[in-house]
Amino acid sequence: MRGDEPQPSALGFGGQSGFGANPSFMDLLGQGNPGAAQPLQPPAGFPIPHGTTILALKFEGGVVMAGDRRATEGFSIADEKIEKVFQADDFSCVAIAGAAGQATEIVKLFQVELEHYEKVQGDRLSLEGKANRLAQMIRQNFPMALQGLVVVPLFGGYDERRAEGRLFRYDATGGRWEEENFLSTGSGGKAAKTTLKKRWRSGLSRAEAVRAAVEALRDASEEDVATGGPDPVRGIFPSTKVISSEGVEEVPVEEVRAAYDELISGPE
């Protein structure tokens, strides 16, 4: 819980001020607790779980986003089944690398922020608007980033107005860049990017894009200790989501497993 609940005014909860209704949930939280923006600062070297490799690439109908399942805490494995790709709203997803606790909180706040705006305004934010909002949230986390709690997300979605998938990457200061074709980040991001560079071409089908994502994460897990590889024995595979004009769809684990099997069964 972040702080005291905002006091209801005579006009109802968190009464209106200024001109027009403020559709931001973040501002509402700030109203309840002005100190919310100043986080506690953990001592340096404090053990904190970190999420690692995430990636996203465009295909002909939208965007595929995927992440490995490992979280590390120093040289230990904190979690082998963590989820790093989250549905943000009906037409977008956010994937996170970095301090896992901090990142999960940002994702949760981002999800509520988008839904809150949609309900108050009666309209979804544009994809551009969502990407900007996320940038502002990452920028607010900058004091924590300086303490080592860096959160670096990828944001991808289907732009209903332009009728195409779009990708955005961020840095720890809240810098935001739109990416043309594919991107990856996290400790294994470099290795994943090499694979994506080889596999990506324009007009990929959905299945080809899922295969490329699985291959890139497999390669990352072979180059980077902090990236978890597919584990067919225990049935742990990268979490993969597809965003298209139909909305967000979790790729079934059987499909990811099949893509992985195809990958190891030899050259195509």
Partner 1 sequence: MKDRSDYARKGIGRGKSVVALEYSDGLLFLAENPSATLHKISEIYDRISFAGVGKYSEFEDLRISGIRLADYRGFAYGREDVNAKTLANAYSQALSAIFTQQMKPFEVEILVGQVGDTPAENELYHVLFDGSVTDEHGFVGIGGRAEDLTQHLQDSFKEGWDLKAAVRAAVTALAETEEREVPADQTEAAVLDRNRSRRKFRRLTDDDVASLLSS
Q: What's the CA gap between 197 and 154, in Å, rounded? A: 17
Render 85-145 in DSSP notation, one character per residue.
EEEEETTEEEEEEEEHHHHHHHHHHHHHHHHHHHHHHSSPPPHHHHHHHHHHHHHHTHHHH
Between 112 and 207, whose beta carbon lies closer to partner 1? 112
H/E segment holding residue 62: strand 62-67
Sites for partner 1 among residues 19-48 (CB under 8 A): 21, 25, 28-29, 32
User: Smallest distance from the beta carbon of 114 to partner 1, in angstroms?
Assistant: 11
Tell me how far, at minimum, the Cβ of 14 lies from partner 1, in Å.
5
Only one of the segments 110-118, 141-149, 163-171, 207-215 lies at the binding site for partner 1 (rule: CB under 8 A); that segment is: 110-118
Provide the greatest CA pair distance for the chain: 70
Tokens 């956010």 label which residue?
94
Question: Does 1 help bind partner 1 (rule: CB under 8 A)?
Answer: yes
- Shortest gap between Cβ of 17 and partner 1 (angstroms)? 12
Cα 47 from chain centre: 22
In the region spanning residues 116 to 135, those forming contacts with partner 1, defined by CB under 8 A, are 116, 119-120, 122
Closest CB 29 distance from partner 1, rounded Å: 8
* Total count of residues recorded for the chain: 268
> Residues interacting with partner 1, by CB under 8 A?
1-2, 5-6, 8, 10-16, 21, 25, 28-29, 32, 108-109, 112, 115-116, 119-120, 122
